[in-house]
Structure 1
Amino acid sequence: MRILHLLESGGLYGAERVVLNLSDAMRAAGRFEPVIGCIVQRPGEPSALYDEARRLGFAAEKVLLRNLLLAVDVPQEARRLRGLGIDLIHSHGYKATVYGSFLRALWPVPITATCHLWFMRPGTPAKMKAMVALELRFYRRFRTVVAVSGEIRQVLVHAGVREDRVRVIPNGIPLDPPLLPAAERERLRASLGVGPEGFLVLNAGRLTAQKDQATLLRAVGGLPATGRPVTCLVAGEGELRESLQSQIVAGGWGDRVRLLGFPRRRAGAAAGGRCVRAAVARRRHADDPAGDGRRRHAHRGHAGGRYPHAGPGRRHGPGRAARRPGRAGRGAAAVARRARTGRPPGRRRPRRGASRAFQ
């Protein structure tokens, strides 16, 4: 039985890992053949999930379903996927559920869904509200909907999905990788400033309201100062980083709670070259090696801050400076020439005038 796991992915996060784990279990069972279907908005769009699925030996497809061209893309993809011999669509997320239901209207194939997360906060965009309303309408017609927690199940039932059609399958994390040797663990703890006597709590995930790191921070911050020292490290990025950092400062918890962010790879000058080459090619951003999609420049061997795109009304920016090097100073002109010729910038610190190219 060939099962298409359909989802829109912004990186390798929780839902993506669950899908890969589920696909691995299906393959091991021998009765199912998983296919990872990654919804993309343009041909050739990169997808970390697609690349990881292929690396792990899974069949993977990029499914072109553009938001404004569904009338064109849905019939084409329905015909293409039918030719792949798909026996079941398993959607993950509101967009995959809605678009998968559109595909099914032109291609009679069973469909089911897993609801990984349900969180509508004040200020949610009207487009997302409309998509979630459609998602709920389709869920009411599905024979089975899977929720990854009892809380999500209650939300679905309260929203009108029949109780006997909702199944709970908790998320699972594979523990196949061996634990680090004791010496390596102690080295890592020391590099993070945690002594051998300390109790270390690590939270890894996007900094969003759904993950509720704020409650964890309050719990750790409220522990008594006496007894075994407790340190909480939060690894990840998200829209709540500033809010969480303010919470740490306001509570005076800086000695026991830290936000690590994403690990910064030593991209060096090559990252700056990618950014400038993207600007010369009039692309709005360069691929970010840290994986979070933010526009960056390089400074002295590290990935640095964001850079603005030179758009309408902007006098400065890497794109304009690189395309008009004569107006940006000799240093910026040299950077632009390297970008055009494909030569990576040197390891030396750029001259003063070059900074204009990265403002």
Structure 2
Amino acid sequence: MRVLHVITGLAAGGAETQLRHILRHSATESEVVTLTNAGVVAEALRADGIGVTDLGMRGNRDLAALPRLAGLIRRGRYDVVHTHLYRAMLYGRLAARLAGTRTVVATEHSLAATTIEGRAQDRPGVRGLYLAAERLGRVTVAVSDHVAARLAEWGVAPARIRVIPNGVDLPTFAFDAQARDRVRARLGLAPESFVLGTIGRLAETKRVDVAIRALAALPRAVLVVAGDGPLRTELAELADRIGVRGRVVFTGEVADVPGLLSAVDVLLSPSTEETFGLAVVEALAAGLPVVYASCPALDDLPSSAAPLARRADCTPEAFTAELGALPRAPGRVVPEAARHYDVAGTAAALDALYAELAGSR
């Protein structure tokens, strides 16, 4: 079965990395089109042997991209078009229909409590465009029960929603002592340092400021901030103002997330609007303790499935308190929660969905 995945961009990010891991386990013949920004994940996909085409969109209203995408789909004679993220859903679903591809699937990665892919949900036209495009597809895959509930609240028919959780490539994220030494050396971190880490786009909802402020109460700790985004300068200025700038390392986009997770001692995830909590589950797969504010992936599991994961209110004081309450574990232990979300199962579930929809077309 030939499947074309259409995604908004391929810079470092949760949805982008998730797509790569799924394709490494999928039994389909897959290719990827990125509407823009063929970044580090595009390079990784190509290294995996996956064909990647950069459509080169110049912005959200670059309508000339639509016939280019439709022509690409038509020439490829794909059995399924699978779209990811808001802009790709709008353009990809319409282009697939124009090209005559009837089996069109979307995965909703980013419909959070107040935003969708960084856009405020109450911006004029956001929901209307979303629902109009949704009717051009067959099924929307929700990455968690939380997202499925939000889709239904938005007006997507429950019969058109399937829940297939995100997954983690467990061998890829297994702790690697050599990677720990290599990454620490590259970042200028001493082998004996107690290192906290955050991973994600430097945007308002990720609340990296909470992690930086918590550092002020942890004089022997270092914080690695992995990711880039519009708040990078503001966060660096905050670290300066509160006197911790010398203990904060801003890495920018990180291609080697497994290596980074091997290098840190605890992951902090103060993000308040998560649709799954992929960084948290990846950290658990690396055997790390985690303090988090929101993680739908763990909400549906018993606390015993992730004994080293602690939920905290999104305040520096709460994060500091939960860090102090973390139990000490002998070495790195991968909890049941991480094994529950093995990406091989995610890929198999998507392959089965494609076959079902193509067979019932």
TM tier relative to shorter chain: 0.5 to 0.7
RMSD of Structure 2 on Structure 1 (CA): 3.8
Q: Tell me: CA distance 1:35–1:186, structure 2 relative to 1, closer, same or farther (3 Å).
A: closer
Query: Structure 2 matches for 1:102-121, cutoff 5 A?
Result: 102-106=94-98, 107-118=100-111
Asked if the contact 1:150/1:168 (under 8 Å) is kept, the reply is yes
Q: How far is the alpha carbon of 1:196 from its aligned partner?
A: 4.9
Aligned match of 2:30: 34
Partner deviation per Cα, 1:300-338 (whole Å, 9 max, x = no partner): xxxxxxxxxxxxxxxxxxxxxxxxxxxxxxxxxxxxxxx
Question: For the residues of structure 1 that align with 2:211 and 2:162, how far apart are their CA atoms?
Answer: 28
Q: Aligned to 1:167, what secondary structure does the other structure show?
A: strand
Q: How far is the alpha carbon of 1:92 from its aligned partner?
A: 0.6
Question: For the residues of structure 1 that align with 2:42 and 2:189, how far apart are their CA atoms?
Answer: 37
**Gaps spanning 5+ residues in structure 2: where?**
255-361
Query: Structure 2 matches for 1:180-259, cutoff 5 A?
Result: 180-181=176-177, 185-186=180-181, 188-189=183-184, 192=187, 194-222=189-217, 229-254=220-245, 256-259=247-250
Q: Aligned to 1:233, what secondary structure does the other structure show?
A: strand
Question: For the residues of structure 2 that align with 1:84 and 1:221, how far apart are their CA atoms?
Answer: 55
Asked if the contact 1:221/1:256 (under 8 Å) is kept, the reply is no
Partner deviation per Cα, 1:119-167 (whole Å, 9 max, x = no partner): 5569959997535531233336644322334443343232222345433
Structure possessing the higher radius of gyration over alpha carbons = 1
Question: For the residues of structure 2 that align with 1:193 and 1:78, how far apart are their CA atoms?
Answer: 48
Asked if the contact 2:81/2:104 (under 8 Å) is kept, the reply is yes
Query: Structure 2 matches for 1:257-272, cutoff 5 A?
Result: 257-261=248-252
Q: How far is the alpha carbon of 1:218 from its aligned partner?
A: 4.1
Aligned match of 1:97: 89
Asked if the contact 1:98/1:131 (under 8 Å) is kept, the reply is no
Question: For the residues of structure 2 that align with 1:150 and 1:109, how far apart are their CA atoms?
Answer: 26
Q: Tell me: CA distance 1:139–1:35, structure 2 relative to 1, closer, same or farther (3 Å).
A: same
Q: How far is the alpha carbon of 1:6 from its aligned partner?
A: 0.3
Partner deviation per Cα, 1:90-145 (whole Å, 9 max, x = no partner): 11111111112221332242211112223556995999753553123333664432
Aligned match of 1:162: 157
Aligned match of 1:61: 53
Q: Tell me: CA distance 1:7–1:132, structure 2 relative to 1, closer, same or farther (3 Å).
A: farther
Aligned match of 1:16: 16
- Residue identity matched to 1:115: E
TM-score normalised by structure 1 residue count: 0.56
Asked if the contact 2:202/2:227 (under 8 Å) is kept, the reply is yes
Q: Aligned to 1:118, what secondary structure does the other structure show?
A: coil
Asked if the contact 2:79/2:103 (under 8 Å) is kept, the reply is yes
Question: For the residues of structure 2 that align with 1:79 and 1:262, how far apart are their CA atoms?
Answer: 33
- Residue identity matched to 1:241: R
Q: Aligned to 1:86, what secondary structure does the other structure show?
A: coil
- Residue identity matched to 1:35: E
- Residue identity matched to 2:17: R
Aligned match of 1:85: 77
TM-score normalised by structure 2 residue count: 0.56
Q: Aligned to 1:234, what secondary structure does the other structure show?
A: strand
1:138 correspondence with 2:130: no
1:147 correspondence with 2:138: no
Asked if the contact 2:8/2:86 (under 8 Å) is kept, the reply is no
Q: Percent identical across equivalent pairs?
A: 30
Asked if the contact 2:236/2:245 (under 8 Å) is kept, the reply is no
Question: For the residues of structure 1 that align with 2:55 and 2:243, how far apart are their CA atoms?
Answer: 48
Q: How far is the alpha carbon of 1:21 from its aligned partner?
A: 1.1
Q: Tell me: CA distance 1:124–1:144, structure 2 relative to 1, closer, same or farther (3 Å).
A: closer
Q: How far is the alpha carbon of 1:17 from its aligned partner?
A: 1.4
Aligned residues: 249
Which structure is richer in relative contact order (CA contacts within 8 A, separation 6 or more)? 2
Question: For the residues of structure 2 that align with 1:128 and 1:140, how far apart are their CA atoms?
Answer: 21
Asked if the contact 1:54/1:60 (under 8 Å) is kept, the reply is yes
- Residue identity matched to 2:212: L
Partner deviation per Cα, 1:27-79 (whole Å, 9 max, x = no partner): xxx3x211112225xxxx96655544333212333446666563x65345424
Question: For the residues of structure 2 that align with 1:233 and 1:108, how far apart are their CA atoms?
Answer: 45
